[in-house]
């Protein structure tokens, strides 16, 4: 995927008017911590200052330039939230006189054993900032097309790139960029900088197609009849493997890759969930105030008559960080086992439209006198079944 991002940025600076590509270690000699900016002529190094990066991008955009800025890891973007809010509301607050057409790209999510400072997600926080468009690819071709669309868009756009997919190659011809060599090794020889001495090295850029993936358009990865799974980024591959496992249990999964978090393709979600009657929303971010919760709320409010069972959210645990050791990371973030279980659990819930849902219970408020041992224990103990 990292080569796809680099190819898109090359097209951006040669054909779409990108003037500056910058961030920490983005310019020579490194070309980005994931090498996403190697060989780009407009790439330069910024100070180690995320607020300075966002502020400079805003200034360049308002001065008529077309910048692409990188926050090296999304874990370091949280101290820029006030600036991101300003970038998102400038067009509105200036009554249309000023806009901030910039691209902010940043690696997101877990899966690289990065522990506390290199494993967080930004999707829930990003979707709380009005005025931004937000995309997250799940494969190289979408990464390429979404980046081109982000560059061309007149609004500020966040391109959230799953860290764990940076080194992942195209799974087949459908995920390859039109114009790139069929042999991944050949592409590497053309555009990957040599290890060690790089003086005098120049990339040989292939002539790739100007292929845009529309922002706001989801993609149905797999058709199914029994349950709809909505996800994006790294979790698309996990959900696809889960669907393969469940097919052996005669559970037919429909899988939607959202691709854009804002604007998102609600018609695609609504059509699928209305047809299957069951929905599971999967992502890596922490489960409280999760973007998937918003989608569940819309399903319940707008698709209630079609739902056979309550929708399920499978997301990251609400913990301060992600563990370094592989078992700790696996216990924190959704994986093949937990996603498979969530889908299976959703399908096996009784059909509420057939009158087989569990009967309602009345509750009474009675103080038990027991001392609480946690923040919610007082409430849990106070409510007892009659």
Last residue in a domain, options 144, 172, 191? 191
| Residue 260 exposure: Cα atoms within 13 Å on the Cβ side | 22
Q: Say yes or no to pLDDT of 227 above 90.
A: yes
Q: Are residues 14 and 131 in the same domain?
A: yes
Query: Is 252 found in the same domain as 154?
Result: no
DSSP 232: -
Please tell me whether residues 142 and 230 are part of one structural domain.
no
12 DSSP 8-state letter: H
Residues 184, 121, single domain; the answer is yes
- In percent, how much of the chain has pLDDT > 90? 82
* Helix or strand run (H / E) with residue 104: strand 103-108
Position 377 in a domain? no
Query: Does the pLDDT at position 363 exceed 90?
Result: no
Residue 76: DSSP 8-state: G
- In this predicted structure, what is the pLDDT of residue 317? 94
- 322 in the same domain as 249: yes
Identify whether 169 is part of a domain. Answer: yes
- Residue 384 pLDDT exceeds 80: no
Region 41-63: mean pLDDT is: 97
* Residue bearing the bigger pLDDT, 180 or 354: 180
Check whether residue 176 and residue 241 sit in a common domain.
Answer: no
Active site residue 294: no
268 located within any domain = yes
CATH code of the domain containing 245: 3.40.50.920
**Do residue 116 and residue 14 come from a single domain?**
yes
Return the pLDDT at 370: 46
Q: Does residue 385 register a pLDDT over 50?
A: no
Pairing of strands 103-108, 67-70: parallel
For residues 129 and 374, the model is more confident at 129
Quick check: is 384 in a domain?
A: no
DSSP, collapsed to helix, strand or coil, labels residue 327 as helix
| pLDDT value of position 15 | 97
pLDDT at residue 355 in the model:
62
Residue 375 reports pLDDT greater than 80: no
* pLDDT average, residue stretch 360-382: 39
Task: Based on the fold, state whether residues 225 and 134 are members of the same structural domain.
Answer: no
In a domain, 346, yes or no: yes
Q: What is the pLDDT of residues 158-186, one digit of tens each?
A: 999 999 999 999 999 999 999 999 988 99
pLDDT of residue 13: 98
Q: Which DSSP string corresponds to 156-219?
A: -EEEEEEGGGTTPPPSSGGGSPTTS-SSHHHHHHHHSPPSS--TT-----------PPPTT--E
Output the pLDDT for position 357.
Answer: 39
Q: Look at residue 376 in the predicted model and tell me its pLDDT.
A: 37
The reply to whether 96 and 161 lie within a common domain is yes
* Residue 330 included in any domain: yes
Nearest of 1, 163, 134, 158 to residue 73 by alpha carbon: 163
pLDDT in tens, 17-42: 999 999 999 999 899 999 999 999 99
Count how many domains the chain has.
2
pLDDT digits (tens, 9 = 90+) for 135-166: 999 999 999 999 999 999 999 999 999 999 99
Question: Does 29 reside within a domain?
Answer: yes
Same domain, 12 and 88: yes
- Label residue 121 by pLDDT band (50, 70, 90): very high
CATH (domain of 180):
3.40.50.970
Q: Decide if pLDDT at 3 tops 60.
A: yes
CA 298/CA 68 separation, integer angstroms: 33
Residue of 118, 120, 226, 294 marked active site: 118
Residue 256 φ/ψ region, left for φ over 0, alpha for ψ in the -120 to 50 degree band, beta for the rest:
beta
246-305 residue pLDDT tens? 999 999 999 999 999 999 999 999 999 999 999 999 999 999 999 999 999 999 999 999
- Does residue 332 form part of some domain? yes
- Please tell me the distance from the alpha carbon of residue 260 to that of residue 271, in angstroms, as a whole number: 17
Q: Are residues 177 and 269 in the same domain?
A: no
Same domain membership, residue 245 and residue 159:
no
Structural domain boundaries, residue 94: 2-191
384, 364 Cβ separation under 8 angstroms: yes
């Amino acid at each position: 995927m990292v080569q796809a991002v680099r190819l898109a940025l090359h097209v951006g600076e040669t054909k779409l008017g990108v003037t500056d590509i910058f961030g920490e270690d983005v310019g020579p000699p490194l070309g980005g911590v994931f090498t996403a900016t190697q060989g780009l002529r407009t790439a330069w190094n910024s100070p180690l200052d995320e607020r300075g990066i966002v502020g400079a991008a805003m200034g360049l955009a308002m001065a008529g330039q077309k910048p692409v800025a990188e926050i090296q890891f999304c874990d370091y973007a949280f101290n820029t939230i006030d600036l991101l809010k300003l970038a998102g509301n400038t067009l509105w607050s200036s009554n249309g006189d000023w806009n901030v057409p910039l691209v902010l790209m940043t690696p997101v999510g877990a899966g690289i054993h990065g522990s506390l400072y290199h494993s967080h997600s930004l999707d829930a926080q990003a979707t709380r900032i009005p005025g931004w468009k937000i995309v997250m690819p799940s494969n190289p071709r979408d990464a390429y097309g979404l980046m081109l669309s982000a560059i061309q868009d007149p609004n500020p756009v966040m391109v959230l790139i799953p860290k764990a997919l940076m080194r992942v190659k195209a799974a087949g011809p459908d995920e390859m960029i039109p114009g790139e060599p069929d042999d991944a090794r050949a592409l590497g020889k053309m555009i990957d900088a040599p290890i060690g001495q790089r003086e005098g090295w120049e990339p040989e850029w292939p002539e790739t197609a100007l292929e845009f993936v529309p922002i706001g358009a989801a993609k149905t990865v797999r058709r199914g009849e029994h349950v709809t799974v909505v996800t994006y980024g790294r979790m698309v591959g996990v959900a696809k493997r889960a669907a393969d496992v469940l097919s052996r249990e005669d559970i037919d999964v429909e899988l939607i890759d959202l691709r854009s978090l804002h604007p998102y393709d609600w018609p695609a979600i609504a059509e699928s969930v209305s047809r299957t009657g069951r929905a599971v929303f999967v992502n890596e971010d922490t489960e409280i105030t999760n973007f998937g919760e918003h989608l569940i709320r819309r399903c319940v409010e707008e698709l209630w008559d079609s739902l056979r069972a309550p929708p399920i959210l499978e997301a990251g645990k609400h913990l301060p960080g992600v563990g370094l050791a592989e078992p700790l990371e696996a216990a924190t973030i959704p994986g093949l086992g937990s996603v498979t279980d969530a889908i299976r659990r959703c399908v096996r819930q009784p059909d509420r439209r057939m009158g087989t849902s569990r009967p309602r219970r009345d509750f009474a408020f009675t103080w038990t006198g027991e001392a609480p041992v946690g923040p919610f224990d007082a409430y849990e103990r106070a409510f007892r079944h009659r």
